Amino acid sequence: MATVTVTLQDYKTSEKAWWCPGCGDFGVLAALQKALVELEIEPHNVAVVAGIGCSGKIGNYINAYNIHVTHGRTMPVALGLKLANRDLTVIAAGGDGDGYAIGMSHFLHAMRRNPDITYIVMDNRIYGLTKGQTSPTSQTGFETKSTPDGNLERPVQPIQLALAAGATYVAQGFSSNQKQLVRLIKGAIQHKGFALVNTFSPCVTFNKVNTYDWFKEHLVDLDEVPDYDPHDRVAAMRFVAEHDGLVTGLIYQEPESIPFEEKLPGLGRRPLAAQDLRPDKEKLQQILAQFR
Ligand SMILES: Cc1ncc(C[n+]2csc(CCOP(=O)(O)OP(=O)(O)O)c2C)c(N)n1
């Protein structure tokens, strides 16, 4: 069988990215494209399901199947795709507002089901596209035009939430640490089950607090923590909580993860998309006759 060479060029589209110069999302896009190339996955075997927001534009810049879904609905669409064709590499991608506000319930249920989906959240701790309101991950006290007295709420902690909800691969990256991010995304794609890669992706226009420098100063890199065990869920929970969620690296991975779609007996051994689903005419008549 001839070997296929996949290059970065294969994953580029002709569309010019309209993100603000310096936006962290450029780094996430580059890391995802690089991960797919390094794993030698061909573009026709990849589907990107993108949410609404600046981050959701990512699907337009990756030459693969792309569905730009309604706000907060990446998870159910990605799950449907995976169930219909489990040979596809399904990547869901969107912002912290998209995933952790309107999409929160889908996020939680996706994690407890454990389909083989990679979910990349571009976490800039603000609503970028709608010009800078607080998002679920904005810090308490964070001031915006619409919260001039500061955010009164506590932030959602995506990593602790994922650990508690039973996610089988939990990682956190930083868009300007490309080497680590590529590795985390590759691991997420290779993982058999639901993989969250929450990625700090600074918004240079509306978030003047959580800047590149702020993240560099506050993030603890697990690659530099010698005794960290990514297979201990409870210890991971404690470590992340102790560092206020500001940890990058592979936080947790369940070694014996069986994806949802492999447990569904009705799907048979071949992907649904490759099966002949037309019912046998005679059998159908017999079934219908029972209802006459
Ligand atoms: C049902 C619905 N509600 C609200 C909106 C308005 N809206 C568009 S993008 C967005 C938030 C985007 O924030 P985030 O997901 O953090 O992405 P970012 O733009 O920061 O990448 C909102 C509220 C919408 N498009 N649809």
From 124, 130, 210, give the residue whose CB has the most ligand 1 atoms within 8 Å, as the site to mutate: 130
- The Å distance, Cα 250 to ligand 1 centre, comes to 28
| Structure token pair of residue 9 | 């060029």
Regarding the beta carbon of 116 and ligand 1, being less than 6 Å apart is answered no
> What is the C-alpha to C-alpha distance for residues 131 and 151, in angstroms, rounded to an integer?
16
pLDDT at 268: 72
- Which uninterrupted H or E stretch holds 262? helix 260-263
Q: With 80 as the cut, is the pLDDT of residue 269 above it?
A: no
Count the Cβ atoms, other than its own, within 10 Å of residue 121. 30
pLDDT, mean of residues 227-255 = 97
pLDDT, mean of residues 90-114 = 98
pLDDT at 260: 95
pLDDT, tens digit, 9 for 90 and up, residues 8-63: 999 999 999 999 999 999 999 999 999 999 999 999 999 999 999 999 999 999 99
Is the pTM higher than 0.85? The answer reads yes
Phi-psi region of 237 (alpha: psi -120 to 50; beta: other; left: phi over 0): alpha
pLDDT, mean of residues 209-213 = 98
Contacts for 257 with CB less than 8 Å, ≥ 6 apart:
114, 168, 169, 191, 192, 193
Q: How sure is the predictor about 266, in pLDDT bands with cuts at 50, 70 and 90?
A: confident
Q: Which phi and psi angles does 110 have, rounded to 5°?
A: -65, -40
Q: For strand 65-68 and strand 46-50, is the pairing parallel, antiparallel, or unpaired? A: parallel
pLDDT at 213: 98
Regarding the beta carbon of 259 and ligand 1, being less than 6 Å apart is answered no
Regarding the beta carbon of 193 and ligand 1, being less than 6 Å apart is answered no
- Which uninterrupted H or E stretch holds 147? none
pLDDT, tens digit, 9 for 90 and up, residues 137-196: 999 999 999 999 999 999 999 999 999 999 999 999 999 999 999 999 999 999 999 999
Q: How sure is the predictor about 278, in pLDDT bands with cuts at 50, 70 and 90?
A: confident
pLDDT at 23: 98
Q: With 60 as the cut, is the pLDDT of residue 1 above it?
A: no
Phi-psi region of 268 (alpha: psi -120 to 50; beta: other; left: phi over 0): left
For residue 160, which of 241, 105, 264 has the smallest C-alpha distance? 241
The residue contributing the CA closest to ligand 1 atom 7 is: 130
The residue contributing the CA closest to ligand 1 atom 3 is: 71
Can you point out the beta strands (E) in the chain?
Answer: 46-50, 65-68, 89-95, 117-123, 169-174, 195-200, 220-221, 247-253
> What is the C-alpha to C-alpha distance for residues 111 and 36, in angstroms, rounded to an integer?
23
